[in-house]
């Protein structure tokens, strides 16, 4: 009887697929390094890479420079309208949660005073989770007079948008890349120095006055932003992209 020759990288891909399906490698988490997988499966790095590429083609894993390979579980945030990411997760049948880390009325830091125009603010720092996994560290500042009636329990259960005594009508978001510091790395369960997306959102009321300032830090490997363009114009760059003035690197003396 003729034996069917098995292809090693496919065997490894199938085994990894089963471990992902069984939850051993949970969504959004890093896989062992290619070197570690090579040792575990007694296979060359080339064979391991082919197995991972096969899983990538199936949409199960992905990779990012400086991270390695991870199980795909991307949280997408559309930017076409003012909404919460919890609404988007609920629409996908996913479970969201908030863990408030800090809730206090404090003197406004200079950058917050400049935006909100007040001396005292409510500051709330929290961790957002999707299906039990952290996907964002969020800090929101609100003028003290608007936040004076809020409790820690309220902002942990529902969005600021639902509690404030004013109607929120618009927001401006600025999104950039950064390297995560040690505190956020511990909260988000990522290595210090790994890439994150930092979103700064200023939300305004009906009069156009800023009433909320938010800072959102997302692990780059778990998050992507999408923008719906209803009437796109020809451009070499994505909508909203602008150059930031900075110093050119200088040669060593």
**Percentage of the chain lying above the pLDDT 70 cut:** 73
pLDDT tens-digit series, residues 83-103: 556 666 666 666 778 899 999
Tokens at 40, concatenated: 């575990």
pLDDT tens-digit series, residues 14-58: 999 888 878 788 766 778 889 999 999 999 999 999 999 888 887
172 with 202: CB under 8 angstroms? yes
pLDDT band at 163 (very low <50, low <70, confident <90, very high): confident
188 with 219: CB under 8 angstroms? yes
Give the lowest-confidence range in 16-25, 46-55, 124-133, 232-241.
232-241
Q: How far apart are CA 51 and CA 53, in angstroms?
A: 5
Q: How far apart are CA 1 and CA 24, in angstroms?
A: 37
Domains defined along the chain, listed by start: 8-71 (1.10.10.10), 75-226 (3.40.1410.10)
Q: How far apart are CA 24 and CA 85, in angstroms?
A: 27
> How much is the average pLDDT of 166-171?
83
pLDDT band at 113 (very low <50, low <70, confident <90, very high): very high
- Can you tell me whether residue 26 is helix, strand or coil? coil
Q: How many CB atoms lie within 10 A of CB 174?
A: 12
């Amino acid at each position: 009887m003729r034996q069917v020759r098995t292809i090693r990288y496919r065997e490894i891909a199938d085994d990894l697929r089963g471990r992902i399906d069984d939850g051993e490698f949970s969504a959004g988490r890093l896989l062992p390094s290619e070197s570690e997988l090579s040792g575990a499966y007694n296979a060359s790095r080339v064979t391991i890479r082919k197995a991972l590429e096969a899983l990538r083609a199936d949409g199960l894993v992905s990779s990012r420079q400086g991270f390695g390979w991870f199980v795909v579980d991307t949280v997408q945030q559309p930017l076409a309208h003012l909404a919460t990411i919890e609404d988007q997760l609920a629409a996908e049948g996913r479970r969201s949660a908030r863990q408030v880390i800090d809730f206090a009325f404090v003197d406004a830091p200079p950058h917050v005073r400049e935006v909100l125009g007040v001396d005292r603010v409510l500051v709330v720092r929290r961790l957002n989770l999707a299906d039990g996994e952290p996907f964002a560290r969020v800090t929101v500042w609100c003028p003290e007079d608007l936040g004076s009636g809020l409790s820690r329990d309220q902002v942990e259960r529902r969005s600021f948008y639902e509690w404030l005594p004013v109607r929120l009508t618009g927001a401006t978001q600025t999104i950039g890349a950064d390297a995560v510091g040690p505190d956020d790395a511990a909260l988000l369960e990522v290595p210090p120095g790994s890439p994150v997306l930092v979103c700064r959102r200023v939300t305004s009321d009906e009069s156009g006055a800023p009433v909320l300032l938010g800072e959102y830090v997302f692990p780059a490997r778990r998050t992507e932003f999408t923008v719906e363009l209803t009437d796109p114009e020809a451009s070499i760059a994505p909508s909203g992209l602008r150059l930031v003035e900075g110093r050119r690197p200088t040669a060593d003396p």
